Structure 1
Amino acid sequence: MSSPSPAQWLSLVGAIWLQTINGANSDFPVYSSQLKDLKSISQVQLNFLAFASDAGKLFGWFSGVAAIFLPLWLVSVIGATFGLIGYGMQFLFLENTHLSYWHLFMLTVLAGNGICWINTGCYLICIQNFPSDSHVAVGLSTSYVGLSAKVYTVVADAIFRRQPSNSAKAYLLLNATVPMLVTLLVSPFLRTTETKNKARSSWGFMVMFAITLATGICAVFGSIESESREHVISLGLLLIAPLGIPLYMKYKEGIEGIWWNKRERRVHDITVDEVETGERVIDLELEGRAEDGKVEGSVEVGGLQLLRKVDFWLYFFSYMFSATLGLVFLNNLGQIAESRRFSKTSTLVSLSSSFGFFGRLMPSFWDYHSTKSGYMVSRPAFMATLMAPMAGAFFLLLNPSRLFLYLSTAIIGACTGAITSIAVSATPELFGTKHFGVNHNIVVTNIPIGSLVFGYFAALLYKSGAEGSHSCTGSGCYEKTFIIWGSTCSLATLLCTVLYARTRKFC
């Protein structure tokens, strides 16, 4: 059975680079306080702006439908174009009085919808080019979304270090231009490669894991310590490093093409045919077993049929009460830090981004090794295991200590990233792969709904603590909020455990 080709690995590198810059909304906490003062908006209105980016996911299913008819590179370019318009217009007219609050809101919705298009393109590239290792490929690429906030803060600090008063415009400019530039750069790589046989894991994944772990460690140390030129260069080189895998494979193919003689080629062909014939039989047996296992479990369910499934609603609400809640927390990091008189918001955002990166990577690393051992953990069980410590982290935030703020931010960032990554493979596990593009975009509509509900109530509680002033100061500003969030996340653990109990015999 053949290993993934250089073209397939190149498509994975393209997806990784795209995902690295596709979290443009994750840097919102860094400049949200300045935006609040600049446009003279309330905390409730600011939370609605954080919700606006998530609201774009309500229309994310359009990207799933478009992916059926359009090439995946074009789907990604459309997403980047939406981001260019959404954030670009805000950058150009932010200080213009004619740019009202509702203009900001609608432009943010458009930019948020663009993220869905890029995500859909990346997911389908990984699934189609790595059919036997799709969990691993998708997990690797989505792990880099966790680095987005880190990358944007590093770039902004490097370019706009001397203009801290204009951080809002600086981040809006980067959010508008960076995704478009990277998408145009990698669009030639975003192609699906037809293969006779399903390509399985190779040494390439081990190299990718080594590079990815090194990238995460570099990001974490850069978040804890002050940023330096050496750190920025190291992070940049590590992001470029995955390109070495397809380049090495192409070089190796060229060398083999020159030095192999006809006799060696003939022997190789015979051997490959024999191995592929045997492995094809194994594949057919595995596929047959998979079909037998889809009697009542992960049957093919598409579109609005999901809404009639109890498992869907258990999945939907457990996701909303955990990972979505984590995203709401991260969106409010700026105000949480400000209420505790902590001025280094970018440090907290970088920390959550770095641990979110490790969280997203963990499921992929587990999948790689479980594929070798033949033992796969149910996705609902995996998610439930991560929701419990996340609930505990919200209760830890009741302690006003700065140490617990760091610790809870790291735990929530890691668990949110891991659950988000697992959900990408949980959707096809529960509902089949045929309609994945549409199904997963329906599932993630929980994000804007949860963002609106949890963010709005957090803003109301914050406003009541402010007692008429513009800002609230003290640990009491978010005390009730953390109790509610911790209890809600505990409920998510229970719901996901029930989902696991209902589906475990089919996993």
Structure 2
Amino acid sequence: MVLSEQHSWGKNKVFTFQILRGRWFMVFSSFMIMSVSGASYMFALYSREIKLVLGYDQSTLNLLSFFKDLGSNIGILSGLINEVTPPCVVLTIGGVLNFFGYFMIWLVVTKKIAMPQVWNMCLYIFIGANSHCSTNTGALVTSVKNFPGSRGIVIGILNGYLGLSAAIITQIYYAFYGNDSKSLILLMAWLPTAITFVFLPFIRHHRSIQKPSDSKAFYNFLYLTLVLAGFLMIIIIVEKCVTFTQNQYYVTVSVMLLLLILPLAIVIVEEHKIWKRKQENIYGDDPPKPLNVTTEKTNLVISTKKQVSLWKNMFKPPSIGEDHTILQALFSTDMVILFLATICGLGGTLTVVNNLGQIGTSLGYPPHSITTFVSLMAIWIYLGKIVQGVVSEIIITKFKVPRPLMLTLVLLLSCVGHLLIAFNVPNGLYVASIIIGFCFGANWPILYSIISELFGLKYYSTLYNVGSIASPIGSYLLNVRVAGNLYDKEARKQMAALGLKRKLGEELNCNGGECYRMAFIIITSVSFFGALVSLILVLRTREFYRNDIYKKFREEARTAENERTVTQNRTGEPAANEG
């Protein structure tokens, strides 16, 4: 009896260790990290506090948001570090950067330190936002490499959690800090850092065999995230209609946290399947069947040709879908086209995301509605990422439609949202925030999937971050240079009409539909141009997408399975961990 209990305890202990070391718990850990990594999406919630305390005009505030976008997308260094070190290194760097950057901003807005220069604030928000690159690289890229045959849905779900993170953090903020936007900045400093440090030991690369059942598991993950998103959307809408007490916020946050950890049940189920297969291999009645392995002698031919110069080779890229070097990808025509189209698309949608609070104020929406816009936009960003990650995967595998066509459609849809803001359609900001949130979210999985498909996974950590640079470039051109300057110009015109003069350090505000009209007409034109540019990439890649783009990974999986079987038959023991 005692021996039986000890044996059972030993098996449970081994199974628990397998879960914690397995690739499925690695995915769950990535979900948790990404679910609190969207602080860069919350600028609209605390930007007014910065503007009020520091007396910034809109151009200066937009400059700050540009450095936030720059930090959250300049991740080439993170990518290079991740190429040569384990993922835990880049995640640790991200956690430290996040805490330092946002904690310094909190010290500024609470006046615990002297008022800094504008460049100091730009540096702080750049550092805080740059942690976004590190967590993305460490968590998302590792997950894609562990599940290359399911990359579309993997990217979609992980980006979906990132999109939901603004709504998740907002609910926690309401429960523990009330409606104090200064405390929100403090929460943004410590919470993502704490979660990252808790889960980073479990983020690692796995040499494992991908099975057809993996896709089913990811669809189960997807269904749970949809339930979480639906719950958050209902809560946000109810909060708009009813004033919640602190205890009611505690209840909603408790339910939200329960929904967040529910994917752990799927992890346990998947690891139990692996556990059962191992036990069958060890204790099965039938001995392993011999496997006929034929080996062929191969004559090794050592080439005497000199290695082609790196700089010459970068202009001779391999076929689409093969592993490109970093330079080959950077200088390829396809990357240039993708980069230009993404600048046009993300530049316009980011202008709305960063200025949603100010746009709502200028157009006369009440403050509570503006908070609702920002929270609901997080839901639509999530849905954009999920829909594009999953639906585009189905479309390209079943109907062989080029994935860049999804980018074209998203850019065209965003034009509708921009026009609703430009012409101040009654209650149009509600619809515009839905459209723009969806399009902004959809852009990311499309971009990351196209990069992985066209240029391979060998240097994906770096190329993934190279593609992200399009976002701050678009933000600077359309948000800072266009929207910010035109807003301030109209604000000064309104002050002059009233015979007023702006005092030094006083915030500059504009009211009415004229504040953003011309800016969003320009942004609509740029987005439409981006859609036309993306059509060129559709034409260039249509032959590639007509083929089975995942065939290579299935063949590699079969080869790995054969090697595992050979090892098992030779030793009489199961091969290394499948999970």
With 322-331 and 90-99 compared, the bigger mean Cα shift is at 90-99
Contact 1:57 1:445 (8 Å CA) reproduced? no
Aligned to 1:506: 544
TM norm structure 1: 0.88
Structure 1, unmatched stretches of 5+, are 278-293
Using the alignment, how far apart are the partners of 2:225 and 2:456 within structure 1? 29
Change (3 A) 1:503 1:97: same
Cα gap change, 1:253 to 1:126, in 2 (>3 Å): closer
Query: Does residue 75 of the first structure (1) align with residue 90 of the second (2)?
Result: yes
CA contact (8 A) 1:150 1:219 kept: yes
* Post-superposition offset of 1:461: 0.8
Encode CA deviations 1:170-201: one digit per residue, 9 max, x unaligned: 12211111111111111122022222x33333
223-232 or 429-438, larger mean C-alpha shift: 223-232
CA contact 1:356–1:415 (8 Å) conserved in 2:
yes
178, 187, 194: which one aligns with 2:207: 194
Alignment of 1:262-301 (within 5 A): 262-263=283-284, 266=286, 296-301=319-324
Q: CA deviation at 1:359?
A: 0.7
- Equivalent residue number for residue 203 of structure 1: 216
Question: Which whole-Å CA distance do the structure 2 matches of 1:67 and 1:11 have between them?
Answer: 16
Aligned to 2:191: 178
CA pair 315-369 structure 1, distance change in 2 beyond 3 A: closer
Match of 1:240 among 261, 275, 281: 261
TM-score, normalising length from structure 2?
Answer: 0.77
Higher Rg of the two aligned structures: 2
Taking a change above 3 Å as real, the CA distance of residues 173 and 306 of structure 1, as seen in their structure-2 partners, is same
Cα distance in 2 for residues equivalent to 1:445 and 1:261: 51
CA distance in 1 between partners of 2:328 and 2:282 (Å): 57
Alignment of 1:390-469 (within 5 A): 390-456=414-480, 457-467=482-492, 468=495
1:244 to partner: Cα distance: 1.2
Cα distance in 2 for partners of 1:146, 1:376 equals 28
Kept after mapping to 2: 8 A contact 1:130/1:199: no
- Offset of residue 65 of structure 1: 0.7
From 78, 81, 90, the counterpart of 2:105: 90
Q: State the shift of 1:414 in Å.
A: 0.6
Deviation at 1:225?
A: 2.3
Please state whether the residue corresponding to 1:225 is helix, strand or coil: helix
- What CA distance in whole angstroms lies between the structure 2 residues aligned with 1:256 and 1:313? 47
Specify the code of the residue in structure 1 equivalent to 2:525.
S
Question: AA paired with 2:118?
Answer: Y
Letter in 1 for 2:140: Y
The alpha-carbon distance between structure 1 residues 324 and 240, as it changes in their structure 2 partners (threshold 3 A), is: farther
Deviation at 1:339, TM superposition (A): 0.6
2:14: which partner in 1?
none
1:483 CA displacement: 0.8
The Cα of 1:493 is off from its aligned counterpart by 0.8
Give the 5 Å matches for 1:4-19: 6=19, 7-19=22-34
Show structure 2 runs of 5+ residues with no match.
1-17, 295-316, 496-501, 503-507, 546-579
Following the alignment from structure 2 to structure 1, what is the Cα–Cα distance between the partners of residues 321 and 284?
47
Structure 2 CA distance for partners of 1:255 and 1:500, relative to 1, 3 Å? closer
CA shift at 1:250, angstroms?
3.9
C-alpha contact 1:12 1:137 (8 A) present in aligned 2: no
Aligned to 1:313: 336
Task: Give SS of 2:114's match.
Answer: coil
Mean CA deviation greater in 52-61 or 84-93: 52-61
Q: Letter of the aligned partner of 2:333 in structure 1?
A: V
Question: In structure 2, which of residues 140, 152, 159 is the aligned counterpart of residue 142 of structure 1?
Answer: 159
Residue pairs, 1:41-190, within 5 angstroms: 41-57=56-72, 59-94=74-109, 95=111, 96-161=113-178, 164=179, 166-167=180-181, 169-190=182-203
- Residue matched to 2:305: none
Matched to 2:510, the amino acid is: C
What is the alpha-carbon distance in structure 1 between the residues aligned to residue 159 and residue 26 of structure 2? Answer: 14
Check the 8 A contact 1:57/1:441 in 2, yes or no: no
Question: Once the two structures are superposed, what CA deviation does each residue of 1:286-338 show, in whole Å capped at 9, x if it has no partner?
Answer: xxxxxxxx964334333344443222221111111112321221000111011
In the TM superposition, what is the alpha-carbon distance from 1:400 to its structure 2 partner?
2.8
The residue identity in structure 2 corresponding to 1:339 is S
Q: How many residues align?
A: 477
Kindly tell me: are residues 131 and 387 of structure 1, through their superposed partners in 2, closer, same or farther at Cα, counting changes over 3 Å? same
Q: Check the 8 A contact 2:347/2:477 in 1, yes or no.
A: no
How far is 1:399 from its partner? 4.0
Q: Structure 1 counterpart of 2:530, which letter?
A: A
The residue aligned with 2:390 is 365
Contact 1:153 1:346 in 2 (8 A): no
Please give the alpha-carbon distance, in whole angstroms, between the structure 1 residues aligned to 2:184 and 2:487. 26
Q: For residue 374 of structure 1, report the CA deviation from its aligned partner.
A: 4.6
Q: Does structure 1 retain, via aligned residues, the 8 Å contact 2:83–2:459?
A: no
Question: How far does the alpha carbon of each residue in 1:139-197 deviate from its partner, in whole angstroms, 9 at most, with x for none?
Answer: 21111111121112212111121xx4x41x212211111111111111122022222x3
The root-mean-square deviation of aligned C-alpha atoms, in Å, is 2.6
In structure 1, the residue corresponding to 2:320 is in which secondary structure? coil
Q: Match of 2:148, SS? A: coil
User: Could you list the per-position Cα deviations for residues 270-296 of structure 1 after superposition, in whole angstroms to 9, with x for gaps in the alignment?
Assistant: 59x89xx9xxxxxxxxxxxxxxxx964
Do 1:131 and 1:199's aligned partners in 2 also have CA atoms closer than 8 Å? Answer: no
TM-superposed CA distance for 1:202, in Å, is 4.2
Q: Give the CA deviation at 1:79.
A: 0.8
Deviations 1:440-499 (A, max 9, x none): 212211111111111122111111111246211111111111111111111111111111
Using the TM superposition, give the Cα deviation of residue 93 of structure 1 relative to its aligned residue in structure 2, in angstroms: 3.7
CA apart distance, 1:117: 1.0
Classify 1:87/1:370 alpha carbon distance in 2 versus 1 (closer, same or farther; 3 Å). Answer: same
CA contact (8 A) 1:360 1:420 kept: yes
- Provide the identity percentage: 27
The answer to whether the 8 Å contact 2:65/2:354 transfers is yes
Alpha-carbon distance in structure 1 between the residues aligned to 2:117 and 2:82: 34
Contact 1:340 1:474 in 2 (8 A): yes
Give the Cα–Cα distance (whole angstroms) in 2 for the partners of residues 43 and 111 of structure 1.
21
Kept in 1, the 8 Å contact 2:67–2:122? The answer is yes
How big is each residue's C-alpha offset from its partner over 1:332-367, in whole Å with a ceiling of 9 and x where there is no partner? 011101112221222111111101101101123225
